[in-house]
């Protein structure tokens, strides 16, 4: 009976020991989606560039003057995901000032497009004097701002081989 009691006491002591596990986990990820380049692709003779296009983060501003219907200028913009997290385009915003006769289009990028980490995507912005205008507007200059809103792609796997 004593032997059984001793074995039970030793067993109870072994199971009642507190197990403490210590350690740290580091997540080394970076979010960096930016415009890296704006290049003029083409322009008609009636276009005057009032100022050089300016990119800041994921916003680009263009300031051009157009003189007659059909005049247009096309820019290629590079959107780069320089971070370590995949991104998805959530929204494409474009705001304009001044002349309603000057129209623009954004081609080559759509809401929902994925931009994997360490990749880039080119798209174009076309600024054009509306060819359907029948009378000369008062203002022939327009400032256009285009911005891309991105968010983290959900349900993505993390590559454990990425160095910290």
Lookup result for tokens 């083409």: 42
Q: Which residues contact 100 (CB under 8 A, 6 or more apart)?
A: 137
Q: How far apart are CA 112 and CA 114, in angstroms?
A: 6
Residues comprising the chain, all counted: 164
Q: Is the pLDDT of residue 111 over 90?
A: yes
Instruction: Enter the pTM of the model.
Output: 0.75
Q: How many whole angstroms separate alpha carbon 22 and alpha carbon 10?
A: 26
DSSP classification of residue 106: E
* 103 beta partners: 128
Q: What is the mean pLDDT of residues 77-100?
A: 87
- The residue to which tokens 């263009």 are assigned: 62
pLDDT tens-place string over residues 46-88: 898 989 999 999 999 998 888 888 899 999 999 999 999 999 9
Rounded to the nearest 5°, which phi and psi values hold at 135?
A: -135, 150
pLDDT band for position 162 (50/70/90)? very low
Percentages helix, strand, coil for the chain (3-state, rounded to 5) are 10, 50, 45
Task: Produce one character per residue of 15-25: b if its CB has 16 or more CB atoms within 10 Å, e if not.
Answer: eeeeeeeeeee
**Contact call for residues 96 and 143 (beta carbons, < 8 A):** yes
């Amino acid at each position: 009976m004593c032997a059984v009691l001793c074995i039970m006491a030793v067993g109870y002591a072994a199971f009642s020991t507190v197990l403490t596990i210590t350690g740290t986990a580091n997540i080394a990820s970076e979010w960096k989606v930016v415009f890296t380049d704006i290049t003029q692709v083409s322009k008609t003779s009636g276009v005057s560039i009032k100022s050089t296009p300016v990119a800041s983060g994921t916003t680009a501003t263009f300031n051009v003057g157009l003189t007659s219907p059909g005049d247009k200028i096309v820019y290629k913009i590079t959107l780069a995901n320089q971070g370590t997290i995949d991104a998805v385009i959530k929204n494409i915003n474009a705001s304009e000032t001044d002349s309603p006769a000057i129209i623009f289009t954004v081609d080559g990028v759509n809401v929902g497009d994925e931009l994997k980490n360490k990749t880039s995507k080119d798209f174009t912005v076309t600024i054009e004097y509306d060819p359907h205008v029948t009378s000369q507007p008062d203002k022939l200059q327009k400032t256009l701002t285009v911005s891309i809103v991105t968010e983290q792609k959900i349900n993505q796997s993390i590559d454990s081989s990425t160095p910290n």
